[in-house]
């Protein structure tokens, strides 16, 4: 099994309104997010060049992320699809892109340099 990954960055705000009022994340705040897409393929599924997928094919994801998430309020951008936690953002990105990127095997999301959430189907 081969896997490749590519890192992307965006900045956005959110409110985790299901937390108690005293929790700092229950207030409007923002993060400089890091998203890592992981794509995987078996040996026999590599393309003719020997790639899982050409990294340039991920340009469409970058454009979508910039237009949909960067400098946005995630509670609105995600269309009300649950609380915009790192975990839910990772799953939402996976669900949004798994048809266009069938090799997509995991999405990792970081809100801070020391914290990560990963979604694997």
- What's the predicted TM-score (pTM) here? 0.95
According to the model, what pLDDT value does residue 81 have?
64
CA-closest candidate to residue 64, choices 21, 24, 34, 93: 93
State CA 57 to chain mean position distance: 16
Give pLDDT tens digits for 7-44: 999 999 999 989 999 999 999 999 999 999 999 999 88
List the catalytic residues: 25, 71, 111
According to the model, what pLDDT value does residue 79 have?
82
CA-closest candidate to residue 8, choices 97, 102, 103: 97
Assign 3-class secondary structure to 52-74: CCCHHHHHHHHHHHHHHCCCEEH
CA-closest candidate to residue 82, choices 8, 13, 17: 17
Interior CA angle at 33 toward 31 and 36, to 5°?
A: 165
Beta carbons within 10 angstroms of residue 20's beta carbon: 7
Mean pLDDT in the chain?
95
- The sheet with strand 2-14 has its strands ordered as 72-73, 2-14, 29-41, 104-112, 115-120
According to the model, what pLDDT value does residue 6 have?
98
What proportion of the chain, given as a percentage, has pLDDT over 90? 90
What domains lie within the chain, and their CATH numbers? 2-120 (3.30.479.10)
């Amino acid at each position: 099994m081969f896997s490749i990954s590519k890192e992307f960055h965006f900045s956005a705000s959110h409110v985790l309104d299901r937390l108690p009022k005293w929790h700092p994340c229950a207030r409007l705040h923002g993060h400089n997010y890091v998203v890592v897409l992981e794509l995987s393929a078996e040996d026999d599924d590599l393309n003719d060049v020997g790639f899982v997928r050409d990294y340039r094919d991920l340009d469409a994801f970058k454009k979508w992320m910039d237009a949909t998430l960067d400098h946005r309020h995630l509670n609105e951008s995600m269309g009300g699809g649950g609380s915009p936690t790192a975990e839910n953002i990772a799953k939402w990105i996976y669900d949004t892109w798994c048809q266009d990127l069938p090799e997509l095997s995991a999405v990792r999301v970081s809100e801070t340099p020391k914290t990560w959430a990963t979604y694997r189907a």
